[in-house]
Amino acid sequence: MATAAAIALAFGSPALAQDVDIQEYIDMFELLPAMPPIPAGTTMSEERIELGRMLFFEPRISASGVISCATCHNPALGWSDRIPRAVGHGGQVGDRNTPTVLNSGWLEAQFWDGREPDLEAQALGPIQADIEMNLTLDEAVERLAEFEIYRNAFAAAFPDDPDPVNAPNVALSIAAFERTLNTPNSPFQRFLLGDRMAMTDQQVRGMQLFVDGGCVACHNGPILSDSQFHRFELPGSRDEGRFLVTGDERDRFAFRTPTLLNVAVTYPYFNNGSVDNLHDAVQLMGQQMLGQDFETDELDDLVAFLHALTGEMPTVEIPALP
Ligand code: HEC
Ligand code: HEC
């Protein structure tokens, strides 16, 4: 029987051959840059980020005075809420699962149906949504303007604006803060950077299957989302997804690809949060998106890989509000 060493002598170092092989997979992925792209016309000053941090945790921009962005996008819960569907104003349960805001600056379409293009456009939606924070923007701005701390913070963040406490500036500040909520240094990121010990053998196999199996067709780019819409029918769900925005028949039941970074800590899964574990989520993806039933050991490898996508959580101090 030929020993591994004898084979290595005959065919060159197997370790080296494997390394060359792995590089082809690594080339399929992109590193997460330090900051997402900043849209034209926006600036990211310290003052804006600071104000955005206050507003993100501010419950008084909700009708009840108890719901803030952080109620549903809770920093202790992967900046999400770990319940299937969001609970907002008056305990109402919405139709959709709360996505994490981590790394959301890279998404080219916000919300499961992509109805807003960027974080600025997104930010004022939840304040007004009757099932979320249920407050008019005028009231929200009026409440903020009562506090000297906010009047000063808006003036510092928007020095050229004569009347800076206004709704567009609320959106600009929250979006600036959200763009700082990124998660570098995951085992996968370190692996891409050349640390071959950062992922286990199983995770490396999972990464290879993620490419060979076709997941990377939609889950690609720095946050493993193409920001595109794909048809996905969840058993029992009537949510028509992108169709509700475009009215285009081809968009019926289509949803925007979510990021997979930190997916191990942002359960439950899918647009209605109906799947509570990664095994089932990946199996459904295989069946619906790729027409393929993965074997148990393949699912184990893919799930192990998804666990390598958890990065360093941003350190955000909870603000002391007025
Ligand atoms: C009641 C719970 C709740 C509150 C409060 C809330 N959100 Fe959300 N958020 C959600 C849900 C649910 C969605 C997905 C809705 C959809 O796709 O239709 C979402 C989506 C988002 C997204 C899009 C992420 C993505 O992957 O598409 C961002 C960004 C976001 N919220 C930021 C905020 C900000 C900023 C606030 C405060 C102004 C806020 N949210 C308040 C539940 C909430
Ligand atoms: C054709 C595009 C496409 C392919 C291929 C694809 N996905 Fe997805 N993936 C999506 C979309 C779209 C969603 C959101 C579905 C929804 O909730 O409506 C999603 C959701 C997920 C989720 C749930 C994330 C969350 O936060 O809810 C996981 C996990 C996932 N995909 C993993 C995979 C894996 C692993 C593969 C390969 C086996 C794969 N996907 C193949 C488009 C795709």
Do the Cβ atoms of 48 and 173 come closer than 8 Å? yes
* Cβ-proximal residues to 229 (8 Å cutoff; 6+ apart), any chain: 109, 113, 114, 241, 242, 251, 254, 255, 256, 257
Provide the phi-psi class of 96: left if phi over 0, else alpha when psi is between -120 and 50, else beta: beta
Q: 303: how many CB neighbours lie within 10 A of its CB?
A: 20
How many angstroms is it from 148 CA to the middle of ligand 1?
Answer: 28
Choosing from 74, 101, 119 the residue with most ligand 1 atoms within 8 A of its CB, the one to mutate for a pocket test is 101
The pLDDT score that the predictor gives to residue 85 is 96
Q: Find, among 238, 269, 205, 263, the residue nearest to 78 by Cα.
A: 263
Give how far Cα 92 sits from Cα of 95, 147, 212, Å: 10, 30, 42
Spatial separation of the C-alpha atoms in residues 181 and 102, rounded to whole Å: 5
The CA-atom distances, in angstroms, between 112 and each of 9, 14, 205 are 54, 45, 30
Query: Which single residue is written with the structure tokens 């997460």?
Result: 32
Per-residue pLDDT at 79 = 98
**Sign of the dihedral defined by the CA atoms of residues 7, 10, 11, 13, in that order:** positive
Of all ligands present, the nearest one to the C-alpha of 261 is 2
Residue type, 35: M
Mutate to test the pocket of ligand 2, among 28, 285, 293 (most ligand atoms within 8 A of CB): 285
Of 94, 134, 22, nearest to 239 (Cα)? 94
The closest-lying atom of ligand 1 relative to the alpha carbon of residue 114 is 27
- Determine if ligand 2 sits within 6 Å of the CB of residue 289: yes
Predicted pLDDT at 41: 82
Cα of 256 vs centre of ligand 1, distance in Å, is 14
* Predicted pLDDT at 17: 55
Dihedral (CA of 199, 315, 71, 62) sign: negative
Decide: residue 24, CB within 10 A, 0-12 exposed, 13-18 middle, 19+ buried. Answer: exposed
Q: How many CB atoms lie within 10 A of CB 15?
A: 9
Q: Provide the pLDDT for residue 43.
A: 87
Distance CA 119, CA 108 (A): 9
Walk along the chain (322 residues) and give the pLDDT tens digit of each residue.
344 444 444 454 445 556 668 999 999 999 999 999 998 888 899 999 999 999 999 999 999 999 999 999 999 999 999 999 999 999 999 999 999 999 999 999 999 999 999 999 999 999 999 999 999 999 999 999 999 999 999 999 999 999 999 999 999 999 999 999 999 999 999 999 999 999 999 999 999 999 999 999 999 999 999 999 999 988 888 999 999 999 999 999 999 999 999 999 999 999 999 999 999 999 999 999 999 999 999 999 999 999 999 999 999 999 999 9
What pLDDT does residue 235 have? 83
- Position 23 scores a pLDDT of 94
The ligand with the least distance to the CA atom of 68 is 1
Distance from residue 98's CA to the centre of ligand 1 (Å):
6
- Ligand in nearest proximity to the CA of 304: 2
Q: How far apart are CA 216 and CA 275, in angstroms?
A: 21
Q: What pLDDT was estimated at residue 236?
A: 83
The answer to whether the bond into 117 is cis (omega within 30° of 0) is no
CA–centroid distance, 256 to ligand 2, in Å, is: 9
Closest Cα to atom 8 of ligand 2 = 285
Q: Given this model, what pLDDT does residue 20 score? A: 66
